[in-house]
Chains A and B, each alone.
Chain A
Amino acid sequence: MENKVKREGAVIFSEYNRGDAVKKAISIGREDVLFELKESKLRGRGGAGFPTSTKWMLTAAAKSDKKYVICNADEGEPGTFKDRVLLLEYPELVFDGMVVGGYAIGAKEGIVYLRGEYEYMLKSLQDYLEEMRKDNLLGKDILGKKGFDFDIIIRLGSGAYVCGEETALIESLEGHRGEARNRPPFPVNTGLNGKPTTVNNVETFASVAHIVTKGGSWYSQHGTDKSTGSKLFSVSGDCKKPGVYELPWGTTINELLKIVEADNTKAVQVGGASGLCISKSQFDRQLGYEDLGTGGSIMVFNESRNMLHVLKNFMEFFVEESCGQCTPCRIGNVKLLEGVEMIEKGEYTFNYINKLKELGETMRISSKCGLGQSSPNPFISILENFKEEIFNNGKGGK
């Protein structure tokens, strides 16, 4: 296995030494850590893009004897692998970010929920934590600061995509099936063991480490107004240089395709299986919360690919990974997959396909968690944006 980062940008991969953020946090104090975070306008990197400072301020304000900082390293979205690279190559950013989180919200316990598929990293991450303990970056009275105690443990997942959803993740940590909870209450109030908990993505913590060290305004000068900083993109599929790229928000799909050396591109799936599939005419769209917000999965498909086959692969994924708790998602995904198979065989009516699109809309509003709310995305966007190929050219529709 290789882990090469293909492009290092000016933010995430800027210079950083282990402990920098922790030192800085202690010297400026809790309030200012939260202030810098607010200034940075950082939004969560796990996909949903919730403002990190709001989440941390709510957890900080919650009164409780115990609080938790959880790092979501479940990285199960098809096409995403940047957290793998961060954890393997830049653990200092991720763990320091968690320590700063503990300091800011007043938590003493940090937990990394590492997907079972990444068990091969476990040993090296644990060794790294041990080094941090030796340097007093973890443990009691961190860096001599009286009363600042914080430690991190790693817990493994066991092969369930839905456990990346934060409340399902908490259920899993508590020893239950990974079934998403109703929200509210949100984890910031009622999280792990009923205590205030902040759950953040690996890359969010890495960004925090830089923000605290270099300042919120330093961070927000990168990117665009609403999407500050830069983003790690996991690029795969039909291009000469797949890999992890740090790019400023605001980059267009066309620019990205050029950078990764993709030719003859027909389609780009933005945001993983649960994201949107866009066609050529939309390649001038921008990556960023203003337009295409994403956790960073970019899958490139060239002219030779059969988009109905791509869609089928995604729907099979959702059928397998639905936790089965609520009907729109459990049954809906099966129906959408059946629809794809009907098109494949040429045994469909447009009337029925339109009904399935409506079903997709229903799933979006009635499913309990993000899985069922977003799984119709590829179905609706691929059938819409590639209808020529699928229904009229005989490739899929016979």
Chain B
Amino acid sequence: MLVLEKNSLSEEIGKLVDLYGKDRSSLLPILQGIEKNHKYISDFAQQEVARLLDIHPVEVYSVVTFYSFLTHKPMGRNVVRLCQTITCDMFGKEAVAKAIERELGIKFGETTKDKSVTLEYANCLGMCDQGPAMLVNDQVYSHLTPEKAIEILEKLK
């Protein structure tokens, strides 16, 4: 990472810490903020957070690796999470999943070459009455068909 980038990231993390406070209890909101802006939480970012909250970096790492929405590997600019739980599964998740994989040319767990989309599965999204459902970043889409899912993804590019 360039020194300039590091400085600006430090500054940004400093702002998050000012906003949420220096308590350990601010750790999640701070990490969520970094994830949102950078689509991952780099080693350097974890060290900065640890330094500012005065905790060991490994503490930060252990939290990052626990939560599925916090990542220490870079994600694409958009994260698509298709619900894999039973009701969505019963109403056509598999066909939607295959269509998305074909269209993006990647498998679940992967990111497109242009870094625009990361594809993942999620557990129950609380949309069981209108599955299949998926999250695109923080927006939810329901009653998916292969065609509808692809249409939504087209708009991301």
Contact = CB atoms under 8 A, between A and B. Distances in A.
Contacts of A58: none
Interface string B98-136: 000000000000000000000000111111111100010
Interface stretch (A47-55, A206-214, A238-246, A286-294): A238-246
Contact of A177 (B31, B62, B86): B62
Interface residues of A, number: 52
Given A175-B23, A299-B86, A236 B128 contact: yes
Contact of B25 (A175, A299, A301): A175
A114 to B, nearest CB: 11
Interface in B44-102: 62-63, 66-70, 84-87, 89-90
Contacts of A119: 138
Given A159-B69, A176-B63, A177-B66, A117 B32 contact: no
B24 interface: yes
A20 interface: no
Contacts of A313: 84-86, 89
B3 to A, nearest CB: 29
B128 A81 contact: yes
A372 interface: no
A116 B69 contact: yes
Contacts of B7: none
A175 B26 contact: yes
Given A156-B32, A175-B63, A299-B87, A78 B139 contact: no
A82 to B, nearest CB: 9
A236 B132 CA distance: 12
Chain A CB count within 10 A is highest, among B85, B124, B129, B130, for: B129
Contact of A235 (B23, B124, B127, B129): B129
Contacts of B141: 1
B86 A310 contact: yes
Contacts, number: 125
B68 A244 contact: no
Contact of B90 (A2, A157, A161, A238): A238
A77 interface: yes
Contacts of A77: 124
A316 B83 CA distance: 13
B24 A158 contact: no
Given A78-B86, A175-B27, A120 B128 contact: no
B145 interface: no
Interface in A306-350: 310, 313-314, 316-317, 320-321, 323
A117 B86 contact: no
Contacts of B90: 237-238, 301, 305
Contact of B128 (A83, A116, A234, A301): A234
B138 A120 contact: yes
Contacts of A174: 24-25
A132 to B, nearest CB: 22
Contact of B126 (A118, A160, A176, A321): A118
A152 to B, nearest CB: 16
Contacts of B29: 155-156
A335 B30 CA distance: 37
B83 to A, nearest CB: 9
A75 interface: yes
A175 B32 contact: no
B122 A173 contact: no
Contact of A317 (B27, B85, B125, B138): B85
Interface in A173-219: 173-178, 193
Contacts of A301: 90
Chain B CB count within 10 A is highest, among A83, A119, A120, A155, for: A119
B126 A117 contact: yes
Given A158-B67, A301-B90, A313-B85, 4 more contacts: A80-B124, A116-B32, A234-B128, A305-B90
13 contacts: A1-B141, A2-B130, A78-B86, A119-B138, A158-B68, A159-B69, A175-B24, A242-B128, A244-B129, A301-B90, A313-B89, A317-B123, A317-B124
